[in-house]
């Protein structure tokens, strides 16, 4: 299964791969090695695009006391920070870095009501740059949940990403584990949680979006 945000890119990549594969078959009939190399490159780019936009079905056990990973990736930051856009106070930041090989679907970490949703155009610094959370293209979404209170997550584009898709609109009710958006060819999601939130992961842990618990309350 592939994510709907990738359909156009997948079709374009398929047409390009087919055109190159068939074209060199007839045009380079006497240059076997070059022909094979070009066909392999064309098929490789198609496979990479298909892998990037894959959207595996995930069964999320709804639990109001659990906050789940919104994306697949590696935990790169867990620290206390000052969140200056919405809360304007201290929060625990948990950041998940996505490599090009990860599933890039964003899922709701918790059920609740969307209180805030804002898109910010910006730069395309590498995702691990200290200022990427403030300077890169990004979206900021706040969900109000009766157990955790208000939590904020931020989709952040990276050096390759050029488009963030966000389905969270202010005022709607969302369900834990459902599709919240997509980051095309990018790169990182930050969570900002209340200071007393008991975190269940540590730096360098690899997490699975829509399944793995990031924090749990008693």
- Per-residue buried b or exposed e for 145-157, using 16+ beta carbons within 10 Å of the residue's own CB: beebebbbbbbbb
- Of the residues 13, 95, 111, 187, only one is catalytic, namely 187
> Taking the CB of residue 28, how many other CB atoms lie within 10 A of it?
16
Alpha helices of the chain — where are they, by DSSP H? 7-27, 32-52, 132-135
Collapse the DSSP code of 153 into the 3-class scheme (helix H, G, I; strand E, B; otherwise coil) and give the result.
Answer: strand
* Pairwise CA distance, residues 66 & 75, whole Å: 17
State yes or no: is 132 an active-site residue.
no
Task: Please tell me the distance from the alpha carbon of residue 135 to that of residue 90, in angstroms, as a whole number.
Answer: 20
Query: Known catalytic residues?
Result: 187
């Amino acid at each position: 299964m592939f994510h709907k945000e990738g359909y156009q890119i997948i079709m374009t990549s398929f047409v390009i791969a087919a055109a190159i594969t068939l074209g060199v078959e007839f045009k380079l009939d006497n240059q076997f090695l070059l022909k094979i190399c070009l066909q392999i490159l064309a098929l490789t780019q198609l496979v990479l695009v298909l892998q990037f936009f894959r959207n595996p079905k995930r069964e999320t056990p709804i639990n109001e006391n659990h906050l789940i990973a919104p994306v697949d990736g590696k935990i790169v930051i867990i620290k206390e920070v000052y969140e200056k856009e919405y809360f304007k106070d201290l929060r625990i930041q948990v950041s998940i870095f996505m490599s090009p090989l990860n599933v890039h679907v964003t899922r709701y970490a918790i059920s609740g009501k969307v209180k805030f949703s804002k898109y910010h155009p910006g730069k395309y610094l590498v995702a691990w740059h200290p200022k990427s959370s403030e300077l890169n293209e990004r979206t900021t979404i706040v969900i109000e949940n009766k157990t955790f209170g208000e939590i904020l997550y931020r989709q952040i584009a990276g050096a390759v990403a050029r488009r963030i898709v966000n389905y969270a609109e202010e005022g709607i009710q969302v369900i834990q584990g459902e599709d919240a958006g997509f980051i095309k060819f990018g790169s990182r999601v930050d969570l900002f949680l209340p200071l007393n939130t008991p975190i269940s992961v540590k730096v360098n842990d690899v997490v699975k979006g829509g399944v793995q618990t990031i924090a749990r309350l008693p």
